[in-house]
Amino acid sequence: MDEKRKRSVLSPPSLLLLCLEHISENLDKHCKEITHTDYDGLNTQLMFKHHDVFLHTSLAECLLSILARKHKLNDRVLSLFANPSTTQLSRVNISESSATLAGLKALSPHRITDLDASRLMNVNFTDIIVAQGQWTRKNMRSLNVSGCTFNTNNTNFCIVIPLSQLKSLIHLNVSYTEFNNNLGLEMVAEKLTNLVSLDISGTFVYNIQPLINLKHTLRSLIMFKTRVPEKDLIPVLMEMNELRYLDISEEAHPMIDMSKRPSISMLLYSSSSLPNITALDISGRDNVRESALVEFIDHHPNLKFLGLTVTQSLMRDNSTTYELCGVDFLTDELHPFHKKDLKVSGHVTEKQVLEGLRRYTARAHYVHKLLCGLFNLTQYLSEPRPDIVELVLPGMRAHSMHLGVQMAASACLYNLTKLQLGEEVHPSILKSMIELTLRAMRNFPAQQQLQKNALLTMCSDRILQDVDFDRFHASRMVMDCLFAFDDQSMIRMAVAICSILAAKISTKQTAELGTKRNMQKLLQIVKQKADNETADIILKFTLSALWNLTDESPSTCAIFVNEGGLELFIKILQSFPNEASLQTKVLGLVNNIAEVKHLRHFLLRQDFIEHCRRLLGSGHLEVSYFAAGIIAHLAHESIEDWGSCFRQRLDILSALHSKILSWENPESEMVAYRSFSPFFPLLERYDTPEVQLWSVWAMHHVCTKNASRYCSMLLEEGGVDILQRLVSSSRVHSDVKAMAHEVLQILLRTKPLPGFKTPAHQ
């Protein structure tokens, strides 16, 4: 991968950006509200709590943009920027904010040169201009009001008067508004004589003849989805000699006979048209002659960009169409007419697709076509391409309700991050990717292929283990897939994802996820595998999911028992006596049940206890460990509760001590715990040293394998005091004391505590 590209992708966000992101998420912590009276009456204003805070221009503008991006801008938040002595603004972005005219007035004290007020829903164009200060109206250079409304009650006043005040305006974007000829374009061409850039995409302009007045100044003209017919469009464009950037692209091909439509080819054939052009976008147009394109490129040596996304041409017989972006002289670098410095947007080559994704984020039809091309290009990637991952996300974010875009995007993301390809993608990018994937799952719950794409993307150790996203929300939607689709590959991925995520959510969330409905579904999968005696990967993942869902969740454990889970799991133990991995998962879950006092009596049955006793000598450490754990927890119950199993209790406890002493600490972490709280009651059982020994061995094991995590847990949960009492007490068995002492020594090596010493053990 190119080093520059790699650095840009892998670099973490700057400290400055992280600080501003924090402020944007915690405004109420850093700000206060004050009430004051002005000519509008009683008003409240947001101010920084510290009176000496001052954000210079770049800081204030960046914070404002972040708030706009997060859709947090309203009248209250905008009031934070009302005082120029604490914030200064010049280039302002309030796009898609919910501000009203009152909120916009907070900007009036500032000297604004560039204003992005696109897609404001609660104000009209007149409000936006009237809210600005006199200096701003006189000196503003750039204005974007795309997607805003023009007050139709008094259109003449609303458009002509405000716009005519902006004498210094150089860049104007009125795309997707009611802007038209009679009361818009004519006035702009007459009054705004300094205009260099104009965007009238998707407007009601049907004749661009007035632009002749700007032919000496206008450098950029964007008319995507123009209503101007070619016969009226081309003559004017032929006179616009100063244009450098021209966009006359269309949305999609109309369902009419292309051979009878006027063609833009006339403009392309002319050697004198657009002499200074550097970028031409004719994407989405049809009936464009290949020969005309060759002529245009040859006559315009300064051309650096050519937009040809979904641009079609007709064969000579006018019966067949083909995509212009795929012609040889544009795709073959060895072709004699190929220009290597000409950037082209299209869907045939990687360069074309990436160029298109950079430029057309807002155009759903284009994004869909480009992503379909990208999918074909990325199916057999051999090296990581984090740069492409970043280019997929904006289009996916912009068109969340477009099924085609979401389907293609999710498929591309899987191609780009599967196996080891995702290792080079920065976690922040992966987080955005998963958040958008989850939104697609939520928006299209019945679309099986989309859901499958999402599962394929999420089913990655890197993502599930290292990326910070809403794991509970993800778990719920993944679990829903088990009910919606009877597809074995989807079931396999869903239970695999749930098995990992269930261990990473809070105990409260675990209880919410472990509903009766969900537990019944998981147990149903286990039963099908048990009945068929199939010990496949689906069974193993499902057992892991159930194990993690019952961890420190008494309510979920109760559901498991009530739904016949215990009998089913005993059947698993009996049906697969040589499958140590299955037995470990089964016994691990039963350990969770044994931790719940009011459920232990379900385990006090001769067949199960005898099975646990046999498993103590299985020769497989993990199996023996969990079998011993179950016995240790059951030993809490009184002799009366053991009833007819009393003799088994004596035999198994006597065997437990020697078994534990024979265990060797494995090289890797055998088990993970949310907390040590289940062990503390066992450590207090001075009458059963076997129980204490199992508990302290377990603590010793995890502390040796992951000292930083578990030593902190010991300190936070008060386990150190319990261990100290064990080491100091004369009632504690010497083997228990010795191991408790070792745990305290590990603690001291990992987290030295001033004045703390482990008691000497006898």
CA distances, 582 to each of 290, 525, 530, 541 (Å): 65, 14, 11, 10
Answer whether residue 597 is part of any domain: no
Q: CB 254: neighbour CB atoms within 10 A?
A: 10
Answer whether residue 727 is part of any domain: yes
Q: Which residues, 6 or more positions from 102, have their beta carbon under 8 angstroms from its beta carbon?
A: 40, 75
Task: Count CA atoms within 13 Å of residue 312 on its CB side.
Answer: 20
572 within 8 A of 610, measured Cβ to Cβ: no
Q: Which residues, 6 or more positions from 584, have their beta carbon under 8 angstroms from its beta carbon?
A: 620, 622, 623, 626
Answer whether residue 91 is part of any domain: no
Q: For residues 218 and 129, give the distance between their C-alpha atoms in angstroms, rounded to a whole number.
A: 23
Answer whether residue 761 is part of any domain: yes
Answer whether residue 685 is part of any domain: yes
Phi, psi of 91 (to 5 degrees): -105, 110
Q: Pick out the chain residues at pLDDT < 50.
A: 1, 3-9, 154-158, 257-260
CA distances, 475 to each of 67, 446, 471, 500, 605 (Å): 29, 17, 6, 9, 35
Answer whether residue 304 is part of any domain: no
Q: For residues 44 and 103, give the distance between their C-alpha atoms in angstroms, rounded to a whole number.
A: 11
- Kindly state the tokens that stand for 414: 């899987």
Query: In the prediction, which pLDDT does 319 show?
Result: 66
Q: For residues 738 and 707, give the distance between their C-alpha atoms in angstroms, rounded to a whole number.
A: 18
Q: For residues 339 and 458, give the distance between their C-alpha atoms in angstroms, rounded to a whole number.
A: 41
Query: 748 lies in which domain range?
Result: 665-762
Report which of 707, 705, 748, 691 is spatially closest to residue 724, judged by C-alpha positions: 748
Q: Write the DSSP string, 385-415.
A: -HHHHHHHHHHHHHTTT-HHHHHHHHHHHHH
Q: For residues 192 and 677, give the distance between their C-alpha atoms in angstroms, rounded to a whole number.
A: 74
Q: Describe the strand order of the beta sheet including 279-281 as a list of residue ranges.
A: 91-93, 114-116, 142-144, 171-173, 197-199, 220-222, 245-247, 279-281, 305-307, 343-345
Distance of CA 694 to the CA centre of its chain: 43
Q: For residues 343 and 352, give the distance between their C-alpha atoms in angstroms, rounded to a whole number.
A: 7
Dihedral angle over CA of 351, 353, 355, 359, nearest 10: 180
Domain count, the chain: 1
Q: CB 734: neighbour CB atoms within 10 A?
A: 10
Answer whether residue 686 is part of any domain: yes
User: If DSSP codes are grouped into helix, strand and coil, which group holds residue 347?
Assistant: coil
Cα torsion angle, 494, 499, 503, 506, sign: positive
Answer whether residue 629 is part of any domain: no
Task: Count CA atoms within 13 Å of residue 739 on its CB side.
Answer: 24
The H or E element that residue 268 is part of is helix 265-269
Q: CB 144: neighbour CB atoms within 10 A?
A: 20
